[in-house]
């Protein structure tokens, strides 16, 4: 079976077609940026994009994503025009969001999906859309600040009143 990850077509053995996409990404494709957190889809550490939508890769199979585009944290920067980093990744650095860093790939992927859908999110929008991503270190205030900065950097005119 073929799946497309980060713009590249990969051949995946049929024996893993119904395995969690998380493990196929990590063990078969060597894309280890996506993390295992809970295995039941509640913590958000394993978040990837499927056709631009944030999904939990521990609850998704390669069969589920056949014919769709999967983007992992390794491929996110490639979605930003003329940038080495996606604006969310840069904002994470600017706001010193990571502590232990374990949840950050999932947090960043969820934030990027939020901003793709809503370029000027309110605090309520951010809290609602990010509520499925748990951060053991409690960097939620920095996460919100980083998302707001990324929103301003992505679409300055759309965010004049959202600050």
Which CATH architecture does the domain made up of 2-76 adopt? Roll (3.10)
Q: What is the pLDDT of residue 163?
A: 47
Q: How far apart are CA 157 and CA 59, in angstroms?
A: 37
Among 35, 64, 38, which Cα is nearest to 51's?
A: 64
Q: What is the pLDDT of residue 159?
A: 56
Q: How far apart are CA 69 and CA 66, in angstroms?
A: 8
Given a cut of 70, the residues of the chain with pLDDT beneath it are: 79-83, 157-163
pLDDT tens-place string over residues 68-86 = 999 999 999 886 666 689 9
Q: Which fold has domain 78-154?
A: DNA polymerase; domain 1 (1.10.150)
- Label each residue of the chain as H, E or C: CEEEECCEEEECCHHHCCCCHHHHHHHHCCCCCCCCCCCCCCCCCCEEEECCEEEEHHHCCHHHHCCCEEECHHHHHHHCCCCCCCHHHHHHHHCCCCCCCCCHHHHHHHHHHHHHHCCCCCHHHHHHHHCCCCCCCCCHHHHHHHHHHHHHHHCHHHHCCCC
Spell out the domain ranges in the chain.
2-76, 78-154
Contact assessment for residue 116 and residue 110, using Cβ atoms and an 8 Å cutoff: no
Same topology, domains 2-76 and 78-154? Answer is no
Q: What is the pLDDT of residue 78?
A: 82
Contact assessment for residue 48 and residue 70, using Cβ atoms and an 8 Å cutoff: yes
Q: How far apart are CA 91 and CA 148, in angstroms?
A: 9
Q: How far apart are CA 51 and CA 5, in angstroms?
A: 10
pTM of the entire predicted model: 0.91
- A 10 A CB-CB count for 123 gives 11
């Amino acid at each position: 079976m073929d799946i497309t990850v980060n713009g590249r077509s990969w051949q995946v053995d049929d024996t893993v077609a119904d395995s969690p996409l998380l493990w196929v990404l990590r063990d078969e494709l060597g894309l280890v940026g996506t993390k295992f957190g809970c295995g039941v889809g509640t913590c958000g550490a394993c978040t990837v994009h499927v056709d631009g939508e944030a999904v939990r890769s521990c609850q998704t199979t390669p069969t589920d994503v056949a014919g769709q585009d999967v983007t992992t944290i390794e491929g996110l920067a490639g979605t930003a025009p003329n940038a080495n980093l996606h604006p969310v990744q840069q904002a994470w650095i600017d706001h010193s969001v990571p502590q232990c860093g374990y949840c950050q790939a999932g947090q960043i992927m969820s934030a990027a999906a939020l901003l793709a859908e809503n370029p000027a999110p309110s605090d309520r929008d951010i809290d609602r859309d990010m509520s499925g991503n748990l951060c053991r270190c409690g960097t939620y205030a920095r996460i919100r600040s980083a998302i707001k900065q990324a929103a301003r950097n992505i679409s300055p005119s759309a965010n004049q009143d959202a600050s």
